[in-house]
């Protein structure tokens, strides 16, 4: 493995020299070289398999856009959002909201799916890493917007009411698959990629939308 990509690199370098100018390879060759280097550099460890790097079209398109420094064109972004929205799994029992107390625990936890976790570790939602949620927790990140008063600000007095339905559904979809609404969102697709279970997603929704949740006080 290691040898292969070294040969490739030397070949690319040699090609550049032969062409008369010691310049870097073209963009497509660099992409190919990067793939080779990734293959040779990463290995299975614990519960994490190297195969998790074989990602889907959403990530491929967004990574390429990031490298180019240009956002995705509108048509591609819309197509990615549509396909992600289609994959959202709605609550099988029709219950969007679980227990906000469990939701808070899930929001606090950053555990799961690293090579130092074991398969039995319940996955956390990593929510506080990026969002303010319950005001009592002062240790929160700012990569995502504040979710304090999430339900209150959106006028959700009764999450089961028809009035609240659109926002409840949107919130479920956003947590389940963030890319359904923003193609290259930094937010993980908690339900789609199996980070959280259906009942965990419902608990997180309760944290955000239950009028009794400290988030909405």
Least distance in Å: CB of 163 to another protein? 29
Question: Binders of another protein: how many residues, by CB under 8 A?
Answer: 65
Q: Nearer Cβ to another protein, position 90 or 115?
A: 115
The 3-state secondary structure of 85-143 reads: HHCCCCCCCCCCCCCHHHHHHHHHCCCCCCCCCCCCCCCCCCHHHHCCCCCCCCCCCCC
Nearest to 208 by CA among 142, 145, 162: 145
Q: What angle do CA 21, 26, 27 make, to 5 degrees?
A: 155
The yes or no reply on residue 89 touching another protein (CB under 8 A) is: no
- If one asks whether residue 43 binds another protein (CB under 8 A), the answer comes out as yes
Give the integer Cα–Cα distance in Å for 200 and 217: 22
**What residues have CB less than 8 Å from 124, skipping those under 6 apart?**
106, 107, 108, 109, 110, 111, 112
- Minimum CB separation from another protein for residue 188, in Å? 4
Among 95-103, 139-147, 155-163, 204-212, which window interacts with another protein (CB under 8 A)?
139-147
**Residue of 76, 79, 91, 137 interacting with another protein (CB under 8 A):** 137
Helix (H, G, I), strand (E, B) or coil at 22: coil
SS3 (DSSP) at 45: strand
Residue 135 sits in the site that holds another protein (CB under 8 A): yes
111 binds another protein (CB under 8 A): yes
Q: What is residue 164's DSSP assignment?
A: G
**In the complex, minimum distance from the CB of residue 124 to another protein, in angstroms, rounded to a whole number:** 9
Task: Please name the residue that has the structure tokens 């936890």.
Answer: 109
Considering only 11, 13, 153, 157, the residue that binds another protein (CB under 8 A) is 13
Nearer to another protein, 117 or 169 (CB): 117
Q: Which residues bind another protein (CB under 8 A)?
A: 5-6, 9-10, 12-13, 16-17, 22-25, 30-31, 33-34, 37-38, 40-45, 48-50, 52-55, 58-59, 62-63, 66-67, 108-111, 113-116, 126, 128-130, 135-143, 179, 186, 188-189, 193-195
């Amino acid at each position: 493995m290691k040898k292969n990509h070294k040969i490739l690199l030397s070949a690319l370098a040699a090609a550049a020299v032969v062409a008369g100018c010691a310049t870097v390879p073209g963009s497509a060759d660099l992409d190919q070289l990067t793939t080779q280097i990734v293959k040779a550099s990463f290995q299975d460890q614990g519960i994490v398999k190297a195969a998790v790097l074989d990602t889907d079209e959403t990530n491929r398109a967004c990574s390429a856009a990031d490298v180019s420094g240009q956002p995705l064109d509108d048509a591609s972004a819309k197509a990615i959002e549509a396909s992600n929205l289609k994959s959202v799994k709605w609550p099988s029992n029709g219950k969007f909201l679980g227990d906000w107390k469990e939701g808070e625990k899930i929001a606090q936890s950053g555990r799961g799916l690293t090579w130092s976790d074991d398969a039995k570790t319940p996955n956390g939602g990593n929510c506080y890493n990026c969002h303010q949620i319950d005001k009592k927790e002062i240790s929160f990140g700012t990569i995502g917007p504040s979710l304090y008063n999430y339900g209150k600000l959106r006028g959700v007095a009764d999450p089961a009411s028809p009035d609240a339905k659109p926002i409840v559904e949107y919130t479920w979809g956003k947590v389940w698959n963030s890319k359904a609404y923003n193609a290259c969102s930094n937010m993980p697709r908690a339900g789609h990629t199996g980070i959280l279970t259906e009942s965990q997603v419902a608990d997180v929704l309760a944290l955000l939308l239950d009028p009794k949740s400290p988030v909405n006080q």
